[in-house]
Amino acid sequence: MMVAGGIAALAPLTVLAISSRFFSLGEQAFIATAAATGAFLAAVVGAMLLESRLATPGLNQRTYIPLWSTCVGIVGASAVAVAPTSFIAISIGLPAVMIALQVGRTHAVSSSTWRTEIIAAAGLLAGISLAVIMTGLGNPRALAPLGVGAAAAVLARAIGAPVRVSGRTPRSTAVWVTAETAVVAAVPYGTTFIVLSQLGDADTVAFRLVLSTLGVLQPVLGYLRTRLLNEHSTALVVSTWVLSASALLVVIGADSTGVLTLLYGQAWEAVTAPALLAACFWKLLTIPETVPFASLRRRGSVKIVFSARSASSLINLAMALLASATYGSLTAVFLAFAIAQAATVVLYVLLNRRESGQDDRWPL
The DSSP string of 109-132 is HHHT-HHHHHHHHHHHHHHHHHHH
Q: Which of 169, 192, 209 is the last residue of a domain?
A: 169
Q: Is residue 122 domain-shared with residue 270, that is, in the same domain?
A: no
Sequence-separated (6 or more) residues with CB below 8 Å from residue 90: 15, 19, 31, 34, 79, 80, 83, 84, 143
* Whole-Å CA distances, 304 to 193, 294, 299: 28, 12, 11
Does residue 227 carry a pLDDT above 80?
A: no
Which residue among 103, 134, 169 closes a domain?
A: 169
Do 36 and 95 fall into the same domain?
A: yes
Residues 184, 316: one domain? yes
C-alpha distances out from residue 233 to 146, 271, 294, Å: 36, 36, 11
CA dihedral of residues 202, 207, 213, 215 (deg, nearest 10): -150
State how many domains the chain has: 2
301 shares its domain with 266: yes
**188 and 160 part of one domain:** no
State the pLDDT confidence band at 246, using cuts at 50, 70 and 90: confident
Q: Is 282 exposed, middle or buried (0-12, 13-18, 19+ CB in 10 A)?
A: buried
**Amino acid occupying residue 173:** T
Name the packing angle between helices 2-22 and 201-213 (round to 10°).
160
39 and 134 part of one domain: yes
Q: Are residues 42 and 4 in the same domain?
A: yes
Per-position b or e across 24-53, b if 16+ CB within 10 A of its CB = eeebbbbbbbbbbbbbbbbbbbbbbbbbbb
Which one has a higher pLDDT value, 215 or 90?
Answer: 90
Tell me how far apart the alpha carbons of residues 268 and 247 are, in angstroms, rounded to a whole number.
Answer: 19
CA 166 – CA 273 distance, rounded (Å)? 51
Say whether both 270 and 145 belong to one domain.
no
Nearest to 209 by CA among 28, 5, 41, 13: 13
The verdict on 99 and 226 lying in the same domain is: no
177 within 8 A of 47, measured Cβ to Cβ: yes
Q: How far apart are CA 42 and CA 364, in angstroms?
A: 28
Q: Give the residue numbers spanning the domain of 27.
A: 1-169
Query: Same structural domain for residues 158 and 287?
Result: no
Average pLDDT taken over every residue of the chain: 85
* 88 and 164 fall within a common domain: yes
**C-alpha distances in angstroms, 145 versus 106, 150, 343?**
24, 9, 43
> Sign of the C-alpha dihedral, residues 251, 212, 32, 339?
negative
pLDDT at 124 over 70: yes
Q: How far apart are CA 164 and CA 69, in angstroms?
A: 12
Tell whether 65 and 187 lie within a shared domain.
no
| pLDDT tens sequence across 37-83 | 998 999 899 888 887 877 776 666 678 899 999 999 999 999 999 99
Q: How much is the pLDDT for 230? A: 61
Q: Which of 150, 169, 188 is the last residue of a domain?
A: 169
The fraction of the chain above a pLDDT of 70, given in percent, is: 90
Cβ(177)–Cβ(55) below 8 Å = yes
Instruction: Tell me which residue of 282, 287, 285 sits closest to 236, measured CA to CA.
Output: 287
Q: What is the pTM of this model?
A: 0.76
Statement: residue 360 has pLDDT above 50: no
166 pLDDT more than 80: no
